[in-house]
């Protein structure tokens, strides 16, 4: 555990803060081409939910904040709620080191305006302004599951379709998301989005009911190597896709709305969420394999 924590600290020290650049490559060997092909032939299919009518355009979005406490850990949580009459699918979002839910507001509001409730906790020891403890990332999957449960059990739960839940995250938040499908599997989740993440600290032992996964990673990411992100993608035994951002760094594709890479990420993530949570088959066309998208979604 001490070695894992040390590697986590080295890998994520700069996080989203623009601090000193660190680099760590997952030491696990990359599977051979033959092994990868064999694995892909055995991917567990993910059953799509019954089609649910999604908004045809952007809907208005309200924002609210609530704080939950788990074993003394205060979890300020920002929730973006689409204004629509029917229950909506929900996405549990995790920020990176020195980050905050509000830093991702443009992307998360886009998801919400497309008909997804977005639940975004600020983790007590990795959010902006906190006394940073990178080791605490290992406690965040349990925090995330707790927040999701509290939201579903509260008054906002009446507006959420509890059978259509996903998790997503960036950097340390992406590692948190991997944990929700591996070391701390949350069986309520049917899909996940991992942006600039890896399995560092939480492992790659994906388990439980198959869940579709979308990985997004820049080839020039200096903080979480593209190789480690690809290794996490290759370990997933279920339906999956990986969007490669050529020349993409650690932050711009997710935090810079004016960049072309941000638009690419926005379009791909929305298509993935519409397919996996709304059962929108038309969205699959945006996820068909290209030179930048390796897709094995079933």
Report yes or no on 92 lying in a domain: yes
Q: DSSP E strands: which ranges in 46-158?
A: 61-70, 73-82, 88-94, 117-122
Q: How far apart (Å, rounded) are the C-alpha atoms in residues 115 and 42?
A: 33
Q: How confident is the model at residue 16 (pLDDT cuts 50, 70, 90)?
A: low
Q: By residue range, what is the domain housing residue 242?
A: 2-16+61-296
**68-121 pLDDT, tens digit each:** 999 999 999 999 999 999 999 999 999 999 999 999 999 999 999 999 999 999
Q: Which of 213, 235, 135, 129 is nearest to 169 (CA)?
A: 213
Residue 253: alpha-carbon gap to chain centroid: 14
**Domain count of the fold of the chain:** 1
Average pLDDT over residues 284-293: 92
Output 28 or 207, whichever has higher pLDDT: 207
Report yes or no on 34 lying in a domain: no
- Is pLDDT above 90 for 298? no
**CATH code for position 247:** 3.40.50.1820
- Is pLDDT above 70 for 23? no
Report yes or no on 221 lying in a domain: yes
Q: How far apart (Å, rounded) are the C-alpha atoms in residues 201 and 4?
A: 6
Output 286 or 5, whichever has higher pLDDT: 286
């Amino acid at each position: 555990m001490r070695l894992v924590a040390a590697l986590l600290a080295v890998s994520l020290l700069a996080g989203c803060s623009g601090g000193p650049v660190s680099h760590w490559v997952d030491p696990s060997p990359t599977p051979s081409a033959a092994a990868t092909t064999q694995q892909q032939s055995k991917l567990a299919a993910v059953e799509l939910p019954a089609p649910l009518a999604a908004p045809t355009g952007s809907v208005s979005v309200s924002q609210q904040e609530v704080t939950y406490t788990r074993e003394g850990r205060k979890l300020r949580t920002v929730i973006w709620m689409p204004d629509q009459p029917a229950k909506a699918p929900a996405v549990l979002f995790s920020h990176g080191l020195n980050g905050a839910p509000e830093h991702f507001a443009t992307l998360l509001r886009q998801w919400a305006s497309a008909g997804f409730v977005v639940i975004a906790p600020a983790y007590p020891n990795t959010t902006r302004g906190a006394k940073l403890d990178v080791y605490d990332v290992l406690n965040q999957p349990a925090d995330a599951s707790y927040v999701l449960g509290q939201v579903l059990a509260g008054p906002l739960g009446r507006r959420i379709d509890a059978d259509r839940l996903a998790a997503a995250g960036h950097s340390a938040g992406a590692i948190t998301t991997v944990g929700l499908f591996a070391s701390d599997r949350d069986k309520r989740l049917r899909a996940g989005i991992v942006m600039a993440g890896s399995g560092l600290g939480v492992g790659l032992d994906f388990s439980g009911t198959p869940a579709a996964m979308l990985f997004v990673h820049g080839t020039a990411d200096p903080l979480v190597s593209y190789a480690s992100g690809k290794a996490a993608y290759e370990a997933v035994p279920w339906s999956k896709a990986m969007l490669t951002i050529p020349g993409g760094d650690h932050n711009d594709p997710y935090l810079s709305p004016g960049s072309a890479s941000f638009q690419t990420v926005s379009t791909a993530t929305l298509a993935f969420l519409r397919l996996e949570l709304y059962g929108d088959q038309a969205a699959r066309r945006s996820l068909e394999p290209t030179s930048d998208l390796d897709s094995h979604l079933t």
